[in-house]
Structure 1
Amino acid sequence: MNAPLPMTQRTVAELSALPRVEFVAALDGIFEHSPWVAESAWEDRPFATVNALHDAMCQAVIDAGEGPQLDLISAHPELAGKAAVRGELTAESTREQAGAGLDQCSAQEFARLTQLNDAYKAKFGFPYILAVRGHTRTSIIENFSNRLENSRADEIEECLRQIFRIAGFRLQDLVRD
């Protein structure tokens, strides 16, 4: 499991009071390389709860339509993929993947994940996304294999669901009611 982030949490009221630029900067990393989500949610301030903030951010993604949604999905790194090997993951992704043990893959597990990443990207045109908190390497590989059987439309929907879960975890680590 991932440990909480080593930083002081802000309250949702403190966050809601921030000017747009500071609000967006404070939420950097909640949605991978996609500050537009926080920019859009800023319009819905003030937020009474962390869940209300999360809901507003998710709604911004839903309202954005398929083009921006696919860009958001594509902004995510492969699990235990090339960016991880090169040390190019965001701090959030690094913590999450390490928490699931993806930084400790055996050569066989790494080869299987590379094969799955390549097959998934070839089939769907975007990276496989899973909120890995609470998963093991074995459960990730099993989920990965199973999802290769889905349709592209189903995978877009599932990737967004997983992104929303990831964002929820990240917000819980960063903001309190």
Structure 2
Amino acid sequence: MTPDRATFLARYGGVYEASPWVAEAVWSRVADGTIADLQALKSAMADVVDGASHEARMALVRAHPELASRARMADASVREQSGAGLDQCSAEEFAAFQRLNAGYNARFGFPFIVAVKGLTRGDILEQFKLRLNNDAEVEFRTAMAQIHRIAGFRLDDLGFGA
């Protein structure tokens, strides 16, 4: 059974961080049965993002919280970062994350994004250091790929259907 629009948007509107426009864009295809399973939903949502303007994709990237931040963030981000132990950083690790967050933002103009599921704090810090050497276009594409990965994990957790 297909959920109603409000239920669908409440459930899937946060899959792409603070960007309910993605779920809104696929709703009509869910409602008419064109999107009938989880893989189709993943593909459709990714296609909406990939087809969006550069400005909309940049806003999506910038909607993500910094890693190991004490800033308020979406519940899904809190769970993901906690799952990687980012809420248990030592003082040295926290300082390293803050330094890398600042350097990354200064270089690229958006937060460092990585799908943290399955990674340790050390893995994440290593990726941070490596990706600081990327050029802006490569890093934007990498951030978008990571956002799709995060959305995929979130959709796996939510499932599809009523």
TM-score band w.r.t. shorter chain: over 0.9
What is residue 123 of structure 1 aligned with on the other side? 107
Name which of structure 1's ranges 38-47 and 92-101 shifts more when overlaid on structure 2.
38-47
Q: TM-score, with normalisation over the residues of structure 1?
A: 0.85
What is the CA RMSD across the aligned residues, in angstroms?
1.2
1:147-166 correspondence runs (5 A): 147-166=131-150
How far apart are the structure 1 equivalents of 2:158 and 2:147? 16
Q: Does 1:55 align with 2:39?
A: no
Unaligned runs of 5+ in 2: none
C-alpha distance in structure 2 between counterparts of 1:82 and 1:125, whole Å = 19
**Conserved 8 A contact 1:81-1:117:** no
Identical counterparts, % of pairs: 47
Q: Which residue identity is paired with 2:48?
A: A
Specify the alignment match of 1:66 in structure 2: 54
- State the partner residue of 2:68: 80
Which residue among 86, 91, 96 is the counterpart of 2:80?
Answer: 96
**Higher-RCO chain (CA-CA 8 Å, sequence separation at least 6):** 1
| 1:120-142 deviation digits (Å, cap 9, x = unpaired) | 00000000000000000000000
Corresponding residue of 1:8: none
1:35 aligns with 2:35: no
Shift of 1:26: 1.6
| Worse overlay, 17-26 or 48-57 | 17-26
- Structure 2 Cα separation of the partners of residues 58 and 121 of structure 1: 25
1:168 aligns with 2:152: yes
Task: Give the distance between the partners of 2:92 and 2:41, measured in 1 at CA.
Answer: 41
Which whole-Å CA distance do the structure 2 matches of 1:176 and 1:30 have between them? 12
Q: CA deviation at 1:167?
A: 0.5
Unaligned regions of 5+ residues in structure 1, if any?
Answer: 1-13
Q: Which residue identity does 1:24 align to in structure 2?
A: L
What is the CA–CA distance in structure 1 between the aligned matches of 2:11 and 2:69, rounded to whole Å? Answer: 27
How is 1:14-25 mapped onto 2 (pairs within 5 angstroms)? 14=1, 17-25=2-10
Indicate whether 1:44 and 2:29 are aligned. Answer: yes
